[in-house]
Every structure is written in C-alpha cells, then in structure tokens.
Amino acid sequence: MKMYEYRFRRRQLLVSSVGLIGYAIVRPVFSAPVTLDAALAEFSRGGKVTTGKVKFEIAELIDNGNAVPITVSVDSPMTEANHVVAIAVFNEKNPQREMIKTKLSPLAGRAQLSTRIRLATSQKLTAIAEMNDGSFFSHTVEVVVTLAACIEE
C-alpha cells in the first residue's frame, strides 16, 4: 500500500494547486470479464429488466474508492402477496461484476439495503431487484472516482 500511497510531486505542489498525482498503479491481469449487461441478463435469467421502482443512492463526491456507502431501496409494500425477493448490485469496471446479492423475506417490512463498496475506477453501477411475481426492475448510476480502491494496487 505504501508503495503508491504518497507519491507527492514537488513540482505539482508548487506550480499548481489542482492536478493529478501520478499514482503508479499496477493492474493485475484479468481474464476477459463479462460485461455489465451480460451479468444483469444472467441475474434476470434472460427476463426483461424494467427501469424504475429501484432507487440507488450513492454520493456524487467520492473521497476514496475503498469504502463507498450505498443504499438501494425498492418501492414495494413487502406483503406476502407483493414483495421483493432479491436485490443485487453489479458494476461495469471492477475486476468482478458482482458486488452483493441479497435475498429478502416479506418479514423485512421494507426493501432496503445499505452497505459499503469498493470502486476501482469511474464507472456505471446497476442495482437490480427481483419481485415475487418474477419481474425485474433496476436503476443505473454513473460514479466518478478520483482515488481508486486498493483492489487496483
């Protein structure tokens, strides 16, 4: 970690107050990962995914990609007859598409999940929900990350 944590540039400090540090990031080599769309299609077992009902909350300004708070909520009465059975979050550019996959019972009373995620870089994120009638809804957000998570170190 120390290797790239602080690579201050004297010139940068003295000449400009804004700029990017040359963080020397060595990317591990990955086998060609699946796309975000492919991951979503797999989750919905090929079924149609409609935009809506799902709200994906994430800060616009991200200090550090190591721990980015997110909240996903789904508009649902959470009754036995009408409830969310699963909420999952996928990304476009991390080493792996999946981030978290949850299952809910109607006993939960509210379809909402909060957690903290790692973001390797600026990218699209999608939260997707499965209803008990087999339908799927989603919300996609774009995030800008200035300092990536350590998964890139």
* Positions in the binding site for another protein (CB under 8 A): 1-3, 5-10, 12-13, 17-21, 23, 26, 28, 59, 61-64, 66-69, 71, 78, 91, 94-96, 98-105, 107-119, 146-147, 150-151, 153
Helix (H, G, I), strand (E, B) or coil at 49: strand
Residue pair 57/116 in contact by the 8 Å Cβ criterion: no
Count of residues that interact with ligand HEC, criterion CB under 6 A: 2
Examine residue 150 and tell whether it contacts ligand HEC (CB under 6 A).
no
Token representation of residue 91 = 């990304």
Pick one of another protein, ligand HEC, none as the site partner of residue 115 (Cβ within 5 to 8 A by kind): another protein
CA–CA dist 98, 86 (Å, integer): 14
CA–CA dist 66, 77 (Å, integer): 34
Pick one of ligand HEC, another protein, none as the site partner of residue 91 (Cβ within 5 to 8 A by kind): another protein
Going by the DSSP 8-state scheme, the letter that residue 116 receives in this structure is E
Token representation of residue 54 = 């799902």
Nearer to another protein, 51 or 79 (CB): 79
Interface of this chain with ligand HEC, residues 4 to 63, rule: CB under 6 A: 8, 13
Q: Which of 120, 129, 75, 77 is nearest to 100 (CA)?
A: 129
Pick one of another protein, ligand HEC, none as the site partner of residue 25 (Cβ within 5 to 8 A by kind): none
Minimal distance, residue 61 CB to ligand HEC, in Å: 13
Token representation of residue 56 = 């994906």
Binding site for ligand HEC (CB under 6 A): 8, 13
